[in-house]
Structure 1
């Protein structure tokens, strides 16, 4: 299965990249992310391998992430392996007029075993989840949680 999702963010591409390229920010926009553990390599660099655990309902889903390409803003690609699922995600960030950014996510999935049935029955759920991550990232980036916390702590606006 292949599909592309995209969204426009009301920030310049440099700010979007700064927020996207910081693994500490993942918890702010990846709903269900319970843990992110670097297994080897340099975080976010090609060859880096990490274990991600997502809490989905009463279950934990473990994924192995491998970064394959980092040429931001043109491309940031990784593979994600979970039980019965192999996923390649290619992220691109395109500068738009008015200090805006188009975030494009190209997704490719291969399924095995039981997950083939799930993908056949509910193919739209994968695209819906990918689009949710983009909207959640947009909300995080445009509201800049760190900035908001700093404002509230300093008592200024």
Structure 2
């Protein structure tokens, strides 16, 4: 399954990137985020790997994030490998008028087992989750609004 989402963030691109790259900010815009642990490679650089943990409903989810391409401030390609789900996310950051940034997120999901059925029956749930993270990042970056307060 492939899809693309985009959002305008009313901040300069450099500020958007700085807030997005800081893993200490994840808890403020990724609901369910529990922890981040660097595993290998140079942090923030290509081939760096990290373990992320989330609580989604009653499920605990662990995934390995790999930085595939880091051409910031324009492009960042990440992959996420979790049980039965592989996601590649190509992120593009474009400068737009009024010191704003357009964030485009191209996503590709490859699912196995039960998750393959979920992806087939409810592809909108994947798209909705991606866009929710994007909206929550926008609220955090622009206004300091945290999902921890929901």
Q: TM-score range by the shorter chain?
A: over 0.9
Match of 1:82 in 2: 82
Match of 1:27 in 2: 27
Match of 2:148 in 1: none
Do the aligned residues in 2 keep the contact of 1:52 with 1:64 (CA within 8 Å)?
yes
Match of 1:132 in 2: 132
Match of 1:150 in 2: none
CA RMSD of superposed structures (Å): 1.1
Tell me the SS of whatever aligns to 1:139: helix
Structure 1: runs of 5+ lacking an equivalent: 146-157
Match of 1:149 in 2: none
CA distance in 1, matches of 2:84, 2:58: 19
Do the aligned residues in 2 keep the contact of 1:23 with 1:43 (CA within 8 Å)?
no
Structure 2: runs of 5+ lacking an equivalent: 146-150
Q: Once the 2 structures are TM-superposed, how far is the Cα of residue 43 of structure 1 from its aligned partner?
A: 2.1
**What are the superposed Cα offsets for residues 121-142 of structure 1, whole Å, 9 maximum, x if unpaired?**
1110000000001001000100
CA distance in 2, matches of 1:138, 1:117: 31
* Number of residue equivalences: 145
**What are the superposed Cα offsets for residues 55-89 of structure 1, whole Å, 9 maximum, x if unpaired?**
01222011111111111121111110111111100
Match of 2:40 in 1: 40
Match of 1:65 in 2: 65
Q: Once the 2 structures are TM-superposed, how far is the Cα of residue 42 of structure 1 from its aligned partner?
A: 2.2
Q: Once the 2 structures are TM-superposed, how far is the Cα of residue 20 of structure 1 from its aligned partner?
A: 1.2
* TM-score after normalising by structure 2: 0.93
**What are the superposed Cα offsets for residues 82-135 of structure 1, whole Å, 9 maximum, x if unpaired?**
111111001111000111110111100111111111111111000000000100
Do the aligned residues in 2 keep the contact of 1:9 with 1:138 (CA within 8 Å)?
yes
CA distance in 2, matches of 1:110, 1:58: 23
Q: Which is greater in Rg? A: 1
* TM-score after normalising by structure 1: 0.89
Q: CA 1:27–1:18 in 2, change beyond 3 Å: closer, same or farther? A: same
